[in-house]
Amino acid sequence: GAIECLEAGVAVLIEKPLAESVAAAQRLVAVQKRTGVPVLGGHHRRHNPIVKAARKLVREGGIGRLVAVTSLFLIRKPDDYFDVAWRREAGGGPVLINLIHDIDNLRFICGEIESVQAMTSNATRGFAVEDTAALVFRFENGALGTATVSDVTPTPWSWELSSGENKVYPQRDGLCYLIAGSEGSLSVPALDRWHYEGRQGWWEPLLRETLALAPLEPLAEQIRHFCAVIRGEEQPITDAADAARTLAVIEAVAEAARRGQPVTIDRAEG
C-alpha cells in the first residue's frame, strides 16, 4: 500500500479519495511528514487549464472579494451503472464519487471550506445510497456557497458534460460553477467574467470578457507533474494533507446530512 511505499522511500500518486476515511488519511499524512517522501493526491482536475485560470482570476482579485459560489453536479447515470452492487450501497453515491471532485475544485479556486450543512435523498431510485444532495457551506474567507448534486436527472450542468475534459461524455454548453465577487463574477467552464466598467449597478450594462486558454490534457499533465515531483523539481499541487482536507469536507457533508445540523470542518484533519 501507500504507507509501505513511503516507508521504502517511494513517492506515490494516490487516486481520490486519499483514503477510506479521514482517520486513515491522517495516518498516511503522518507517515509522509515523518519520511519526507512526497505524496501527490490524484485530484487531476487541478491540472485542467480551466481550473487553473479560474483560480488565478479569483485569487488575484479579478472579481473582487469573494461573495458566493454555486456548484452543480446534475447528471443522469445509466441504469446498468448500478449493476455493480457497491454503487447501490452507502458510500457508493454521488457525494463521495462525484462531489469530491467539485469540492476539491472549489477549495482550490476559492479557498478553504469552514462549515457545511447538507440534506440527502434516495427518493428517486430508492437504493440505500443517496441519489440527490443539497449543500450549504461557508468558506473561511466569509463567502457562502451552495452545491446541488444528483445522478438521476438529464441536464448539461456538470463538469463532466460541460468541460469537455473527458471525451467519453458528449459535451454540451452548460455551466457547473458560478462564482460571484464584489467586483465581478465568473462562470465555469465557460470562463466568462462579468463586470461593470465605471459606475456599478443593475441599471448599467454588464460587460463580458472570456478568459483565453492554452489547451492541456489534465491526466497527461498530472503524470508530467508527478515525474517532476519525484525528481524534486516541483512541489505536489495536491499533497497528502491537502487531499485529506478535501476528504474531511466530504465526511462533514455525510455527517451533516445524518445529524441534520451544520458541521464545522476541523483544519487539523488535514
Q: Contact 147/137 with Cβ under 8 angstroms?
A: yes
Q: Read off the amino acid at residue 245.
A: R
**CA torsion, ordered 225, 227, 231, 234, to nearest 10 deg:** 10
Domain ranges across the chain: 2-44+219-269, 49-214
- Render pLDDT for 43-61 as a digit per residue (tens, 0 to 9): 999 999 999 999 999 999 9
- Render pLDDT for 124-153 as a digit per residue (tens, 0 to 9): 999 999 999 999 999 999 999 999 999 999
pLDDT band at 270 (very low <50, low <70, confident <90, very high): low
2-44+219-269: CATH number: 3.40.50.720
Cell of 65: 472579494
Cell of 246: 478535501
Distance CA(126)–CA(187), nearest Å, equals: 33
Smallest CA-to-CA distance from 190 within 15, 94, 12, 53 is with: 53
Q: What is the pLDDT of residue 268?
A: 60
The set of residues, in sequence order, having a beta carbon less than 8 Å from that of 21 and lying 6+ positions away, is 247, 251
Tell me yes or no: is domain 49-214 CATH 3.30.360.10: yes
Q: What is the pLDDT of residue 269?
A: 60
Q: Contact 158/37 with Cβ under 8 angstroms?
A: no
pTM recorded for the entire structure: 0.95
> HSE-up of 262 (CA within 13 Å, CB side)?
10
**CA torsion, ordered 55, 61, 64, 67, to nearest 10 deg:** 40
pLDDT band at 266 (very low <50, low <70, confident <90, very high): confident
Cis peptide leading into 189, omega within 30 of 0? yes
Phi-psi region of 201 (alpha: psi -120 to 50; beta: other; left: phi over 0): left
The set of residues, in sequence order, having a beta carbon less than 8 Å from that of 23 and lying 6+ positions away, is none
